[in-house]
């Protein structure tokens, strides 16, 4: 009996996976599904003949998954069709560069699926016939599939645990750096979600939004080098004290520099730039306007707003309205005016984040 072609469907949207699975199985194909890049890479061992790959996914986007597949000699010839709503020339060029073979646009058309999969699967079969004997390959696949299915979930679980451990390590490093401040844990969560909200509003990709969510808490990591008596001083800082605390962006950048982690690289940019000001009067580099990295401009708004609306050793918490009035006076001077306008236009979501990550102090 001739082997059925097996197609891997990679999409973080459950409904789209089911639709594609139904279409492909009605055409006589066997299917495997994956909800993210980690699971997709683990399922390549199941004798995959073709991959339908979504582009916009959290964690690893479709471009990154394709690059990871092409880096493995055993899988470098698997045909890959990008299933996407992105239709710009730049996106298509990027997909070809990383190793995609074809494109299918959303919404998905049954005829287009049939034509494109048939063509690429014929190419794949010709390659396979040159590489190995069909019957011998089938025998190996049958022997291994059962064991691989049993171990696959453990592999995926381990990869996700490593990713989670990486994130938790960074979070604990941040907490250690700001441990002396009151309400640090909830401040970190609020400002990171404010930052992610702004990243989403300016339509950054899901992976970029997630990167800002997890890297923004590193903004004040340099405070680990600031003396406690300055951090907790209830009154106004004198000039030497102010000069000392203004070193924390540089210290933070030095702590995070030269990392191979994209997350820590983003954290380094945020740490060094979140006190820069739109008019060039910020510190430590005196950058101006769009020369300030976008992630730094985003985190400046999120950090200042949460600082104003939170209790600090030197002040009580301000109301949202008072905080916005104070910040509004700095629009065009301190803050990117377009980003600040987006922030103020979405106060319902801001308040939702505040409620979700605010701890009511217990009475002593």
What does the domain layout of the chain look like in residue ranges?
Answer: 6-158, 178-356
Q: How far is CA 278 from the centre of its chain?
A: 26
Homologous superfamily in CATH for domain 178-356: Hypothetical protein af1432 (1.10.3210.10)
Q: What is the full per-residue pLDDT of the chain (364 aa) written as tens digits?
A: 567 899 999 999 999 999 999 999 999 999 999 999 999 999 999 999 999 999 989 889 999 999 999 999 989 889 999 988 777 788 888 888 999 999 888 888 899 999 999 999 988 888 777 776 656 656 766 777 776 676 666 666 666 665 665 566 666 666 665 555 555 668 888 999 999 999 999 999 999 999 999 999 999 988 888 888 887 788 888 899 999 999 999 999 999 998 888 889 999 999 999 999 999 999 999 999 999 999 999 999 999 999 999 887 778 899 999 999 999 998 789 999 999 999 999 999 999 999 998 744 433 3
Cα 201 to its chain centre, rounded Å, is: 15
How many CB atoms lie under 10 A from the CB of residue 21? 17
Closest of 253, 249, 227 to residue 240, by C-alpha: 227
Does pTM top 0.85 for this prediction? no
pLDDT of residue 249: 95
pLDDT at 362: 36
pLDDT of residue 359: 46
CATH 2.40.50.140 for domain 6-158: no
Q: Give the pairing type, strands 6-10 and 50-54.
A: parallel
The angle formed by the CA atoms of residues 52, 58 and 62, to the nearest 5 degrees, is 30
Q: Where are the alpha helices (DSSP H) in the chain?
A: 14-26, 37-42, 62-70, 89-98, 110-131, 134-177, 184-201, 206-215, 228-231, 239-245, 248-256, 262-273, 294-308, 320-328, 337-344, 347-356
Give Rg (Cα) of the chain: 25
């Amino acid at each position: 009996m001739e082997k059925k072609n097996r197609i891997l469907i990679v999409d973080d949207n459950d409904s789209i996976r089911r639709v594609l699975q139904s279409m492909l199985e009605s055409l006589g194909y066997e299917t495997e599904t994956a909800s993210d890049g980690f699971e997709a890479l683990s399922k390549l061992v199941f004798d995959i003949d073709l991959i339908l790959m979504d582009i916009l996914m959290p964690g690893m986007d479709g471009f990154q998954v394709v690059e990871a597949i092409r880096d493995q000699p055993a899988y470098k010839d698997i045909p890959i069709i990008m299933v996407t709503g992105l239709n710009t020339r730049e996106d298509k060029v990027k997909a070809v560069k990383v190793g995609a073979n074809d494109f299918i646009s959303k919404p998905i058309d049954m005829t287009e699926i049939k034509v494109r999969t048939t063509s690429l699967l014929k190419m794949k079969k010709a390659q396979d016939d040159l590489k190995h004997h069909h019957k011998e390959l089938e025998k190996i696949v049958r022997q291994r599939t059962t064991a691989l299915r049993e171990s696959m979930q453990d592999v995926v679980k381990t990869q996700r645990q490593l990713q989670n451990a990486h994130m938790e390590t960074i979070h604990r490093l941040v907490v250690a750096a700001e441990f002396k401040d009151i309400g640090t844990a909830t401040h970190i969560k609020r400002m990171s979600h404010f930052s992610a909200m702004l990243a989403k509003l300016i339509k950054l990709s899901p992976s970029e939004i997630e990167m800002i969510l997890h890297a923004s808490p590193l903004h004040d990591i340099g405070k680990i080098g600031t003396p406690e008596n300055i951090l907790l001083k209830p009154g106004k800082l004198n000039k030497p004290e102010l000069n000392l605390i203004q070193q924390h962006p540089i210290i933070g950048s030095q702590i995070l520099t030269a990392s191979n982690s994209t997350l820590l690289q983003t954290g380094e940019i945020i740490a060094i730039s979140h006190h820069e000001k739109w008019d060039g009067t910020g510190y430590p580099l005196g950058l101006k306007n769009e020369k300030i990295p976008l992630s730094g401009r985003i985190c400046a708004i999120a950090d200042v707003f949460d600082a104003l609306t939170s209790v600090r050793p030197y002040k009580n918490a301000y109301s949202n309205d008072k905080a916005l009035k104070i910040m509004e006076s700095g629009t065009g001077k301190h803050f990117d005016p377009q980003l600040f306008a987006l922030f103020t236009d979405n106060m319902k979501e801001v308040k939702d984040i505040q409620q979700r990550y605010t701890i009511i102090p217990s009475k002593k």
